[in-house]
């Protein structure tokens, strides 16, 4: 992931909560046994043979859908599983991992989910039972990550359209938050043909409107980070991607750029896209970015010496910033970093890397 980081106004009624949880990129957390669609709040998957039609423009929604939200901690995250495994054997190590495991974080969705409808519906129902709200990162667009360490994604336009409709079907009208496609706008000029660029914008526009059909789904289009593209250029990409119908945009997903720098960048973009709100990933930017790396890859691929950042909160002190969130899960690798020095090289993207986790959380 080379980018790569009432009073709840989502119509929650008695639910005053916002969840950030479930499995990371490589963790398959369907975990739903033999449940049927009816057991997922009466939801059903998008039929394999159904026609793909243009979704209507979404209804008006709150300016800040995360106001006073409570955040959900995933009891099945890789960090939590590791904490449970070492808690009785190594109290000192467990205390450090605790700083990651018991913090709200997002669930990444991609081709590793064998059944995306069931995976999403399962998390939504689990969060509801907890009195919380599910949160997701959609990371499955064709030509994802320009084929780098998190390369992959759906194989065609239609397969992605069906996939995103199953994400929405799993959410239904329950509360949820979706961060839409990290890297997709950041890498926009780096590896796509003109035809692929148009397809990507079409898919993002469609995805925003599909997800917004959920009456309580908050949608943020990912916009890279403050050091990737000039604000004016990113604003134009966001407009082409359908920011008009999203609640806002996300910044710093899976990256290390400081919160203050991203805040100023976000406010500048906001002024160019109709004062849309934004969220910032603070999961790993506690020490800021690695300055003067040996090469560009080392700035984002497992840089050593980084630290966890500000804990997730929806009280940011900035009216345009809806939340500081942990979108990337600390302790999970950015990739193997084969083009970097040995200090950066780790396991495949999304795999738990305990040495780095302990370094970040100490």
Q: Is it the case that residue 30 has pLDDT exceeding 80?
A: no
Q: Render 79-129 in DSSP notation, one character per residue.
A: HHHHHHHHTTT-HHHHHHHHHHHTS--PEEESTT-SSHHHHHHHHHHHHHH
Annotated active-site residue 145? The verdict is yes
- Give the pLDDT band of residue 39 (cuts 50, 70, 90): low
Report, as an integer, the average pLDDT of 210-216.
95
**Beta-strand pair 248-251/277-281:** parallel
Report, as an integer, the average pLDDT of 244-264.
98
Q: Print burial letters for 5-31: b (CB count within 10 Å at least 16), e (below 16).
A: beebbbebeebbbbbbbbbbbbbebbe
Q: Is it the case that residue 89 has pLDDT exceeding 50?
A: yes
Catalytic residue among 74, 183, 206, 322: 183
Q: Is it the case that residue 15 has pLDDT exceeding 50?
A: no
Helices marked H in 107-193: 116-129, 157-171
Residue 361 confidence (pLDDT): 98
Name the average pLDDT for the chain. Answer: 89
Report, as an integer, the average pLDDT of 134-147.
93
What's the CATH number of domain 18-28+63-361, 3.20.20.40, 2.40.30.10, 3.40.50.720, 3.40.640.10? 3.20.20.40
Percentage of the residues of the chain whose pLDDT score is greater than 90: 78
Tokens of 178: 């979706």
Report, as an integer, the average pLDDT of 171-200.
95
Residue 38 confidence (pLDDT): 53
Annotated active-site residue 44? The verdict is no
Residue 147 confidence (pLDDT): 86
Q: Is it the case that residue 33 has pLDDT exceeding 50?
A: no
Annotated active-site residue 183? The verdict is yes
Report, as an integer, the average pLDDT of 316-340.
96
Catalytic residue among 74, 206, 222, 334: 334
- Give the pLDDT band of residue 326 (cuts 50, 70, 90): very high
- Spell out the domain ranges in the chain: 18-28+63-361
Catalytic residue among 74, 145, 206, 281: 145
- Give the pLDDT band of residue 9 (cuts 50, 70, 90): very low
Nearest to 250 by CA among 263, 260, 239: 263
Residue 327 confidence (pLDDT): 97
Helix axes 78-86, 354-361, angle to 10 degrees: 90
Nearest to 241 by CA among 189, 274, 200: 200
Per-residue pLDDT tens for 339-353? 999 999 999 999 999
Taking the CA atoms of 330, 328, 27 and 190 in sequence, report the sign of the dihedral they define: negative
């Amino acid at each position: 992931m080379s980018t790569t980081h009432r009073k709840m106004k989502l119509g929650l009624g008695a639910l005053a909560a916002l969840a950030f949880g479930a499995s990371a990129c490589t963790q398959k957390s369907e975990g739903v046994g033999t449940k049927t669609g009816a057991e997922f709040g009466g939801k059903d998957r998008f039929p394999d043979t159904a026609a793909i039609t243009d979704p209507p423009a979404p209804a008006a929604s709150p300016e800040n859908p995360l106001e006073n939200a409570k955040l959900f901690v995933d009891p099945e995250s890789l960090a939590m599983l590791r904490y449970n495994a070492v808690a009785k054997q190594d109290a000192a190590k467990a205390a450090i991992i605790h700083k990651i495991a018991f913090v709200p974080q997002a669930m990444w969705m991609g081709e590793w989910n064998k059944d995306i409808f069931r995976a999403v519906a399962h998390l939504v129902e689990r969060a509801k039972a907890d009195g919380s709200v599910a949160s997701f990162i959609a990371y499955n667009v064709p030509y994802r990550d320009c084929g780098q360490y998190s390369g992959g994604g759906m194989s065609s336009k239609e397969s992605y359209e069906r996939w995103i409709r199953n994400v929405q079907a799993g959410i239904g009208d329950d509360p949820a938050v979706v961060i839409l496609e990290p890297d997709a706008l950041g890498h926009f000029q780096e590896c796509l043909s003109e035809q692929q660029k148009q397809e990507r914008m079409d898919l993002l526009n469609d995805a925003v409107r599909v997800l917004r059909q959920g009456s309580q789904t908050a949608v943020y289009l990912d916009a890279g980070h403050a050091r990737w593209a000039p604000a004016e250029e990113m604003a134009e990409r966001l407009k082409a991607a359908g920011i008009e119908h999203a609640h806002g945009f996300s910044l710093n997903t899976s990256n290390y750029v400081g919160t203050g720098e991203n805040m100023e960048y976000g406010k500048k973009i906001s002024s160019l896209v109709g004062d849309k709100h934004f969220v910032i990933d603070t999961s790993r930017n506690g020490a800021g970015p690695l300055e003067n790396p040996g090469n560009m890859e080392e700035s984002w691929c497992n840089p050593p010496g980084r630290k966890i950042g500000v804990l997730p909160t929806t009280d940011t002190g900035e009216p345009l910033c809806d939340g500081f969130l942990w979108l990337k899960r600390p302790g999970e690798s950015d990739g193997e970093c084969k083009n970097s020095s040995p200090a950066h090289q780790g396991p495949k993207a999304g795999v738990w890397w305990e040495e780095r986790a302990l370094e970040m959380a100490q």
